[in-house]
Amino acid sequence: MSQREYPLSPIVGVGAVVLLGNSVLLVRRAQAPLAGEWSLPGGAVELGETLEDAIVREVAEETGLTVAPTQVLKALDHIERDLDGRIRFHYVLVDFLCGVDPGDGVGAEAVLHAATDVSEARWAPVEGLRGSKEFPLRQRTLDVIDAGWSEAQKSGLIERFRR
């Protein structure tokens, strides 16, 4: 059992809504929680690490991309209980809107390398994600992606993410 299972206190984690053109970066989790599910890249904050440093590190570890976080989108809890009602996982997650560093390629050439605790990393079109059979996502994940897409369009960041 990992230190993340049945924790004594919540674990702080970060997630990234990474936009590039009309696509968002998704990863398929290889480990619990969410093993086998598509989600946003991210993970636990390490001791002494800022939230921004954590999201840059996590995205790089999981996908090989260098990102620039632009703003916090949402903070939320992920709590999973076992069959006995004990808390198996408890994360406090802070999701960031991020763009890809220009040095990582342009458009579809932003090459992904799934690593660490993900089995796959892919660009998925934002439009049509709700109800997608290829990328089934949890409601909360869809809501955060929508918030990031909306904020990027409203703030003009979407043009910067198009490259």
Annotated catalytic residues are 120
User: ∠86-51-35 over CA atoms, to 5°?
Assistant: 45
Q: Which residues, including other chains, have CB under 8 Å from residue 37's CB and lie 6 or more apart?
A: 28, 29, 136, 138
CA distances to 24, 34, 72, 124, 138 from 127, in Å: 10, 23, 22, 9, 16
Q: If you ran DSSP here, which 8-state letter would residue 119 be given?
A: E
> What distance in Å separates the CA atoms of residue 55 and residue 66, rounded to the nearest whole number?
10
DSSP string, 69-85: EEEEEEEEEEEEE-TTS
> What distance in Å separates the CA atoms of residue 3 and residue 133, rounded to the nearest whole number?
33
